[in-house]
Structure 1
Amino acid sequence: MKRRDCLASGLAWAGLARGQALHASPAAIGFDEGSLPTMYRAAASPAARGIYPALVGAAFAAMRRPCELRALPFKRMLTEVDAGQLIAGAVIRTPEREQRWLFSQPYFLERLAVYSTGALYQGLDSLQGKRVGVIRGWSYGEAFDTARRQGRFVCEDVASDVHNFAKLLRERIDYAVVTELGGRMLQQLAAYEGRVMAGNAVLGATAIHLAVPRTQDGGAALLAAFNAAVELLHRDGLVEPLVAREIAAAAEVARTLPAG
């Protein structure tokens, strides 16, 4: 099917479903709770905040489909998606996940940087024999994940990027893999400014998707409508202002976090 036909098909589904969607039960969409500024939980609220929830929420609003954006520990979110209790709001596409889930088109491209307080990251060989901080449950691309399984370096799993930055300062790890947007935000905090530096090479760029279990009724149609809505957001120039707004909001939250 041509791209234009896909867009028309998705919009047609959204239009046909519009009357009943306004009264449908909200779609429960899960996000990681500890990845400022892309997705996170603020204070005691279970609602997800950040760039990805805002983008997904805007797309569902364009679809006129009610939704609940929930922030959870990442591994718990994956378990609830497999159980059919949630839609995965922001995940990467892997061969293992493709066996269980259907994926949207990419709606964001996430660049991964490697930060340190000592020798700068130059490539995967820089990590040989080192301690590397990562987010619990995350995949960082085939090359990194394969090197990790081979034992070329030791990964320490934590719940959030700010924990890894604090561990860098205490020399408990040698490197930390952090989303580039998250790293830039944290570098603005007094505790890390001028002390934690990004490497000379990025680890990679990862496409972010919405995903539904293959067993979910209407899942393929929902993804088609979501893809069409995201295209409309880009066409209307709404994505960049939304991203800028969410980075500013997350920076305010980050200033209240302990430095570790």
Structure 2
Amino acid sequence: MKRRHCLAACAALAGQARGQGLRPLAIGFDEGSLPTMYRAGAQPAARGIYPALVGLAFAALGRPCELRALPFKRLLADVDGGQLLAGAVIRTPEREQRWLFSQAYFLERLSVYSAGVPFRGLADLTGKRVGVIRGWSYGEAFDAARRLGDFHCEEVSADEHNFAKLLRGRLDYVVATELGGRMLLELPAFERRIASGAAALGVTPIHLALPRSHEGGAALLAAFNTAVEQLQRDGQVEPLVAREIAAAAELVRGRGGVASIA
């Protein structure tokens, strides 16, 4: 029954979009997290794995969308204000009070990086300076320890800035996505000087989200879920991920580093 309901919602949304010429959905993504989501140069269009996957799902529904890259805290405020959908966020109890979420469409592995003592577990962060991205959640365990003051977090807009602070001794650890960290460690500035810990911080599901006040939000999310499931069955997701990683890596190499991109 649930499957049939989702298919019906998907068909209804696609027909509505094509028949009524609906206004494009505005969907926001963080601007500084290569290769998953980022802004390339001065253009506001979002690039990366998450925008590509979300855009492909809505294209399958015949629903036009604008994929925008912007600072993460501004993105959160614009979603609360009803101006955007959140294209790639973690589901937290606090956000669930305000937003509706899709099924997870990607699993993001988080790693902890250092230029000294390698990370082995959350207890290693006690009393340390930890670099994070402004406005991000890093899972319930990390967020709870942060609220308790077990360690001090310093926020920036892009992972590269935290890696640079790590090399200058201004941070003890940096939390970043495994895909983003792997890309940065290939740059001459960071190669062989920074390493990921033996243990991952965790694996976090990534969701599309929208305000609870969004008209037709539940049907939109049901249709999106069905479209993503179809992309997965058709084998389109893995090649898309590989292409976006390669494209982000080429940008990094071609422009001499991440700072000139985001």
* Identity percentage of aligned residues: 69
The yes-or-no answer on 1:151 pairing with 2:149 is: yes
Matched residue type, 1:245? R
Matched residues in 2 for 1:191 and 1:179: separation?
19
1:67 to 49, 65, 68: 65
- Which position in structure 2 is the counterpart of 1:108? 106
- Distance in 2 (CA, whole Å) between partners of 1:219 and 1:163 is 36
* Structure 2 segments unaligned to the other structure (5+ residues): none
Write the letter of the residue equivalent to 1:168: L
Structural mapping, 1:11-160, within 5 Å: 11-20=10-19, 23-160=21-158
Is the 8 Å Cα contact of residues 10 and 227 (structure 1) preserved in structure 2? no
Number of aligned residue pairs: give it: 258
Residue pair 1:136, 1:159 contacting (<8 A) in 2 also: yes
> Per the alignment, in what secondary structure is the counterpart of residue 138 of structure 1?
coil
Query: Where in structure 1 do 4 or more consecutive aligned residues deviate above 3 Å?
Result: 257-260
What is the TM-score when the length of structure 1 is the normalising length? 0.96
1:218 aligns with 216
Q: Cα distance, 1:16 vs. partner?
A: 3.2
Structure 1 unaligned blocks of 5 or more? none
CA-based RMSD: 1.4
Cα deviation code 1:160-180 (max 9, x no counterpart): 011111111111101000000
Deviation string 1:24-53 (CA, Å, 9 cap, x unpaired) is 111000000011110000000000000000
2:177 is aligned with 1:179: yes
1:189 matches 2:187: yes
Using the alignment, how far apart are the partners of 1:121 and 1:13 within structure 2? 49
Deviations 1:91-126 (A, max 9, x none): 011111111111000000001000011111000111
Mapped partners of 2:19, 2:102: distance in 1: 22
- Distance in structure 1 (CA, Å) of the matches to 2:55 and 2:257: 29
Please tell me whether the aligned partners of residues 124 and 144 of structure 1 are also in contact (alpha carbons under 8 angstroms): yes
User: Do 2:252 and 2:258's aligned partners in 1 also have CA atoms closer than 8 Å?
Assistant: no
1:8 paired residue number: 7
Work out whether residues 9 and 224 of structure 1, in 8 Å CA contact, stay in contact via their aligned partners in 2: no
Distance 1:167 1:6, change over 3 A: farther
Deviates more, 1:249-258 or 1:62-71: 249-258
**Contact 2:55-2:67 within 8 A present in 1 as well:** yes
Note the C-alpha offset of 1:8: 2.0
